[in-house]
Amino acid sequence: MNDKVYETTVIGGGSAGIMAALRSVLNNDETLFFPGNQKDKKKSRAMWVRKVENIPGFLDFKQGINNPNKQAYDYLSQEKYSHTFFPQKNIGITNIEKGEDGIFNLTDSSGNNWRTKYVILTTGMMDVQPFIENDIRAIFPFANSQAIEYCVRCDGHHTNDNEIAVIGHTSSAAWVAIMINERYKIPNLTIMTNGKTPEFDQETKELIELYQINVETKEIVDFLGDKKEGILEGFILDDGSIVHAQNAFVSLGVIVYNELALQLNAEVDKRGFVVTNEKGQSSIENFYIAGDLRAGIKKQIYTAWDSAVDSADDINAKIRRERRQKQLLEFREKKGDNN
């Protein structure tokens, strides 16, 4: 066991994690950083994001999260930050508990133990993938080329004048289709439930009818288009019929990576996102949440940044307050001695 108690530990190296580390180091707080091992990284949203078009200055990056994050990581790895930045490259956290002394004890993916006063957890979430050809991987070439997308807020504008499909069977999927219809000119919009019974509420049912959105309930058995190049032309259904689409959005819900928060019994909402105050502190004192994992905020890069800054700055305020009180006490004692 390493007995040293670090000030702040950031768990996760996506948009929220790198911003939390950057802010914490620039605030001059000792920062231990676990960006995750290869397995953690593979299942993160950061890994899947290609071109980011909704943030100024990001358009030139091929991988809109990983490329700028690497830039920030390299910047923090300079000698001048070596006394504050302690990165544990390719390492994740598997266990967390809080001792009676208020210190968090962490176990990493290599089996090492660490101690820290504050934690910022940023492990995020992942979109549920559809099973096509009995395999979730079938969709990956199209996701990589951005023919198939997951975030209508980020990439809805790619739909202009195309035929569009939305894969999903709940009211959330219906709202994705409704939003696309209301924002962009869509000649042909289809919700594909992929063999599932639609679960649309009354309002979405009515809007689907009003906007003449097609609903296709047959199972998808294959893609139409060029799998190698990721060019989508449509979907082949189990009866051999075809739905033409040059773009599709997946709306099947998300898996929330809240395991470490649950180990501490932190409060989560009914979808599994971790509930926090406005600074990002969870129901566990000194345990903060930033990025997609935090309940009640948009699941976007700029909100990940903002929530990370909230958390790092609140921790810094606590650290400064503690130091200030200690110094004041010493100062008063010394002054008293001199009188």
Please count the residues of this chain forming the interface with ligand FAD, following the rule CB under 6 A.
Answer: 40
Q: Provide the 8-state DSSP code for 200.
A: -
123 binds ligand FAD (CB under 6 A): yes
Residue 235 has, within 13 A of its CA and on its CB side, a CA count of: 32
CB-side neighbour CA atoms (13 Å) of 320: 9
Out of 6, 33, 34, 175, the only residue in the binding site for ligand FAD (CB under 6 A) is 34
Among 257, 273, 287, 288, binds ligand FAD (CB under 6 A): 257
The residue count of the chain comes to 339
* Least Cβ distance, residue 191 to ligand FAD (angstroms): 19
Binding map of ligand FAD across residues 156-195, x = CB under 6 A, - = no contact? ----------------------------------------
Q: In this complex, which beta carbon is closest to ligand FAD, that of residue 123 or of residue 194?
A: 123
Q: How far is it, in rounded angstroms, from Cα 124 to Cα 257?
A: 6
Whether 111 and 94 have beta carbons less than 8 Å apart is answered as no
Contact between 122 and ligand FAD (CB under 6 A)?
yes
Member of 6, 9, 10, 13 binding ligand FAD (CB under 6 A): 13
- CB of residue 36 to ligand FAD, shortest distance in Å: 3
C-alpha separations of 266 from 289, 294, 312 in Å: 10, 12, 19
Tell me which of 10, 11, 173, 295 binds ligand FAD, using CB under 6 A.
11
Q: What is the rounded CA–CA span in Å between residue 20 and residue 121?
A: 9
d(CA 153, CA 220): 25
Q: Does 49 bind ligand FAD (CB under 6 A)?
A: yes
Provide, rounded to whole angstroms, the least separation between the CB of residue 248 and ligand FAD: 12
Beta strands in 208-330 (DSSP E): 214-216, 220-226, 231-237, 242-244, 247-250, 254-256, 287-289
* Nearer CB in complex with ligand FAD: 243/289: 289
Report how far apart the first and last C-alpha atoms of the chain are (Å, whole number): 46
DSSP string covering 254-284: EEE--HHHHHTT--B-TTSPBP--TTSB-SS
**Which of the residues 133 through 152 are near ligand FAD (CB under 6 A)?**
149-151
Query: In the block, which residue shows the tokens 């649309």?
Result: 200
Provide the minimum distance between the beta carbon of 159 and ligand FAD in the complex, in angstroms, as a whole number.
Answer: 14
Residue 121 is a binding residue for ligand FAD (CB under 6 A): no
For the bound state, the minimum distance from the C-beta of residue 298 to ligand FAD, rounded and expressed in Å, comes to 8
Q: Which residues bind ligand FAD (CB under 6 A)?
A: 11-17, 34-36, 40-41, 44-46, 48-49, 52, 54, 64-65, 92-93, 122-124, 127, 149-151, 154, 257, 291-293, 299-302, 304
